[in-house]
Amino acid sequence: MFAVCKAVLPTGRAGARQLLQTVRQSSAMARKSLGTNIHYTETLEDGSIFVSRVPKVLPEVGEADLPPPIRTRAPPANKSLTDEERRELIKLRNTDPARWTVSKLAKKFEVPPQLVLMTAQCPRWRQQEIQQDADKEWEKLGYKKRLIRLNRLRRRLLW
Protein backbone atom coordinates (compact mmCIF):
# COMPACT_ATOMS: atom_id res chain seq x y z
CA MET A 1 0.00 0.00 0.00
CA PHE A 2 2.80 2.42 0.86
CA ALA A 3 4.68 1.60 -2.34
CA VAL A 4 1.62 2.63 -4.36
CA CYS A 5 1.40 5.91 -2.48
CA LYS A 6 5.08 6.67 -3.12
CA ALA A 7 4.61 6.02 -6.82
CA VAL A 8 1.62 8.36 -7.01
CA LEU A 9 2.91 11.20 -4.83
CA PRO A 10 5.83 13.32 -6.05
CA THR A 11 8.94 13.20 -3.87
CA GLY A 12 11.45 15.81 -2.80
CA ARG A 13 11.13 19.58 -2.33
CA ALA A 14 9.96 20.21 -5.90
CA GLY A 15 7.40 17.45 -5.57
CA ALA A 16 6.01 18.92 -2.36
CA ARG A 17 5.73 22.34 -4.05
CA GLN A 18 3.92 20.76 -7.00
CA LEU A 19 1.55 18.91 -4.67
CA LEU A 20 0.77 22.09 -2.72
CA GLN A 21 0.05 23.96 -5.96
CA THR A 22 -2.32 21.21 -7.12
CA VAL A 23 -4.20 21.29 -3.80
CA ARG A 24 -4.56 25.10 -4.00
CA GLN A 25 -5.90 24.91 -7.55
CA SER A 26 -8.42 22.23 -6.71
CA SER A 27 -9.67 24.07 -3.62
CA ALA A 28 -9.99 27.29 -5.63
CA MET A 29 -12.03 25.44 -8.23
CA ALA A 30 -14.24 24.00 -5.48
CA ARG A 31 -14.92 27.50 -4.10
CA LYS A 32 -15.68 28.94 -7.53
CA SER A 33 -19.41 29.46 -8.09
CA LEU A 34 -20.99 27.50 -10.88
CA GLY A 35 -23.51 30.28 -11.47
CA THR A 36 -27.13 30.57 -10.53
CA ASN A 37 -28.29 28.13 -13.19
CA ILE A 38 -31.40 30.21 -13.93
CA HIS A 39 -33.23 28.92 -16.99
CA TYR A 40 -35.86 31.65 -17.22
CA THR A 41 -37.53 34.44 -15.25
CA GLU A 42 -41.13 35.56 -15.56
CA THR A 43 -42.98 38.55 -14.14
CA LEU A 44 -46.28 37.49 -12.62
CA GLU A 45 -49.58 39.46 -12.51
CA ASP A 46 -48.97 40.76 -8.99
CA GLY A 47 -45.56 42.17 -10.01
CA SER A 48 -43.44 39.48 -8.38
CA ILE A 49 -40.69 37.78 -10.34
CA PHE A 50 -40.77 34.04 -10.79
CA VAL A 51 -37.29 32.55 -11.21
CA SER A 52 -36.99 28.96 -12.40
CA ARG A 53 -33.88 26.82 -12.24
CA VAL A 54 -35.69 24.02 -14.03
CA PRO A 55 -36.30 24.32 -17.78
CA LYS A 56 -39.91 24.93 -18.89
CA VAL A 57 -39.72 22.24 -21.55
CA LEU A 58 -37.86 19.02 -20.87
CA PRO A 59 -35.28 18.07 -23.49
CA GLU A 60 -36.17 15.28 -25.89
CA VAL A 61 -34.59 11.97 -24.91
CA GLY A 62 -34.01 9.44 -27.67
CA GLU A 63 -33.07 5.77 -27.66
CA ALA A 64 -29.40 6.67 -28.17
CA ASP A 65 -29.36 8.80 -24.99
CA LEU A 66 -30.58 5.97 -22.76
CA PRO A 67 -28.24 3.48 -21.04
CA PRO A 68 -28.26 -0.12 -22.27
CA PRO A 69 -31.14 -2.26 -20.99
CA ILE A 70 -30.52 -4.22 -17.81
CA ARG A 71 -32.62 -7.21 -18.80
CA THR A 72 -31.31 -8.62 -22.06
CA ARG A 73 -34.13 -11.07 -22.67
CA ALA A 74 -37.85 -10.40 -22.75
CA PRO A 75 -39.94 -11.73 -19.88
CA PRO A 76 -41.60 -15.05 -20.72
CA ALA A 77 -44.99 -14.74 -22.33
CA ASN A 78 -47.93 -16.24 -20.49
CA LYS A 79 -48.35 -19.44 -22.46
CA SER A 80 -51.51 -21.41 -21.91
CA LEU A 81 -51.47 -25.19 -22.04
CA THR A 82 -53.51 -27.15 -24.53
CA ASP A 83 -55.70 -29.99 -23.28
CA GLU A 84 -53.21 -32.57 -24.53
CA GLU A 85 -50.29 -30.83 -22.78
CA ARG A 86 -52.35 -30.52 -19.61
CA ARG A 87 -53.13 -34.26 -19.61
CA GLU A 88 -49.45 -35.11 -20.21
CA LEU A 89 -48.37 -32.78 -17.39
CA ILE A 90 -50.81 -34.39 -14.95
CA LYS A 91 -49.73 -37.88 -16.06
CA LEU A 92 -46.02 -37.13 -15.59
CA ARG A 93 -46.60 -35.51 -12.20
CA ASN A 94 -48.69 -38.44 -10.94
CA THR A 95 -46.44 -41.24 -12.22
CA ASP A 96 -43.09 -40.02 -10.89
CA PRO A 97 -43.29 -36.80 -8.84
CA ALA A 98 -39.76 -37.27 -7.49
CA ARG A 99 -38.36 -37.06 -11.02
CA TRP A 100 -40.88 -34.63 -12.50
CA THR A 101 -40.70 -31.78 -10.03
CA VAL A 102 -42.51 -28.48 -10.50
CA SER A 103 -39.43 -26.73 -11.86
CA LYS A 104 -38.62 -29.53 -14.33
CA LEU A 105 -42.19 -29.60 -15.63
CA ALA A 106 -42.21 -25.82 -15.94
CA LYS A 107 -39.04 -25.95 -18.05
CA LYS A 108 -40.35 -28.82 -20.17
CA PHE A 109 -43.66 -27.14 -21.01
CA GLU A 110 -42.21 -23.58 -20.93
CA VAL A 111 -44.75 -22.27 -18.43
CA PRO A 112 -44.36 -20.58 -15.03
CA PRO A 113 -44.10 -22.91 -12.00
CA GLN A 114 -47.32 -21.45 -10.55
CA LEU A 115 -49.25 -22.80 -13.54
CA VAL A 116 -47.80 -26.28 -12.96
CA LEU A 117 -48.83 -26.12 -9.29
CA MET A 118 -52.37 -25.09 -10.21
CA THR A 119 -52.67 -27.72 -12.94
CA ALA A 120 -51.15 -30.78 -11.26
CA GLN A 121 -50.73 -30.90 -7.52
CA CYS A 122 -48.37 -33.32 -5.88
CA PRO A 123 -50.03 -36.72 -5.20
CA ARG A 124 -51.06 -37.47 -1.60
CA TRP A 125 -48.67 -40.40 -1.26
CA ARG A 126 -45.73 -38.20 -2.30
CA GLN A 127 -46.77 -35.50 0.16
CA GLN A 128 -46.81 -38.14 2.91
CA GLU A 129 -43.32 -39.34 1.90
CA ILE A 130 -42.00 -35.80 2.06
CA GLN A 131 -43.62 -35.32 5.48
CA GLN A 132 -42.10 -38.57 6.78
CA ASP A 133 -38.64 -37.51 5.57
CA ALA A 134 -39.08 -34.17 7.31
CA ASP A 135 -40.15 -35.95 10.52
CA LYS A 136 -37.06 -38.18 10.40
CA GLU A 137 -34.84 -35.12 10.00
CA TRP A 138 -36.65 -33.48 12.94
CA GLU A 139 -35.97 -36.52 15.13
CA LYS A 140 -32.26 -36.32 14.31
CA LEU A 141 -32.04 -32.74 15.57
CA GLY A 142 -30.75 -32.07 19.04
CA TYR A 143 -32.60 -30.24 21.80
CA LYS A 144 -31.07 -26.82 21.05
CA LYS A 145 -31.75 -26.86 17.30
CA ARG A 146 -35.34 -27.98 17.87
CA LEU A 147 -35.85 -25.19 20.37
CA ILE A 148 -34.36 -22.63 17.98
CA ARG A 149 -36.62 -23.76 15.11
CA LEU A 150 -39.72 -23.78 17.31
CA ASN A 151 -38.97 -20.27 18.52
CA ARG A 152 -38.45 -19.16 14.91
CA LEU A 153 -41.86 -20.61 13.98
CA ARG A 154 -43.50 -18.87 16.94
CA ARG A 155 -41.97 -15.54 15.94
CA ARG A 156 -43.10 -16.05 12.34
CA LEU A 157 -46.67 -16.65 13.54
CA LEU A 158 -46.59 -13.24 15.24
CA TRP A 159 -46.00 -11.42 11.94
Condensed to tens digits (0 to 9), the pLDDT of residues 80-112 reads 889 999 999 999 999 999 899 999 999 999 999
- Spatial contact of 67 and 97, defined as CB atoms under 8 Å apart: no
Give mean pLDDT, residues 131-159.
Answer: 95
pLDDT band at 68 (very low <50, low <70, confident <90, very high): confident
Partners of 51 in beta bridges: 41
pLDDT of residue 38: 74
pLDDT band for position 4 (cuts 50, 70, 90): very low
More confidently predicted of 39 and 46:
46
Residue 96 covered by a domain: yes
Residue 128 lies in a domain: yes
Nearest Cα residue to 120 out of 78, 91, 151, 82: 91
Q: Where does the pLDDT of residue 139 fall: very low under 50, low under 70, confident under 90, or very high at 90 and above?
A: very high
Residue 3 predicted with pLDDT over 50: no
| Average pLDDT of the residues of the chain | 84
Is residue 107 included in any domain, yes or no?
Answer: yes
- What is the dihedral sign for C-alpha 107, 111, 116, 120? negative
User: 52 in helix, strand or coil?
Assistant: strand
CA dist 107 and 48 (Å) reads: 66
SS3 (DSSP) at 123: coil
Give the C-alpha separation, 81 to 105, whole Å: 12
Mean predicted confidence (pLDDT) in 39-52: 87
Q: Which domain holds residue 89?
A: 83-157
Q: Which of 80, 115, 122, 81 is nearest to 99 (CA)?
A: 122
Predicted local confidence at residue 5, as pLDDT: 46
- For residue 2, pLDDT over 80 is answered with no
What total number of domains does the chain contain? 1
All residues at 6 or more sequence positions from 81 whose CB lies less than 8 Å from its CB, including other chains: 89, 109, 111, 115, 119
| The pTM of the whole model exceeds 0.85 | no
Mean pLDDT for the stretch of residues 145-156? 96
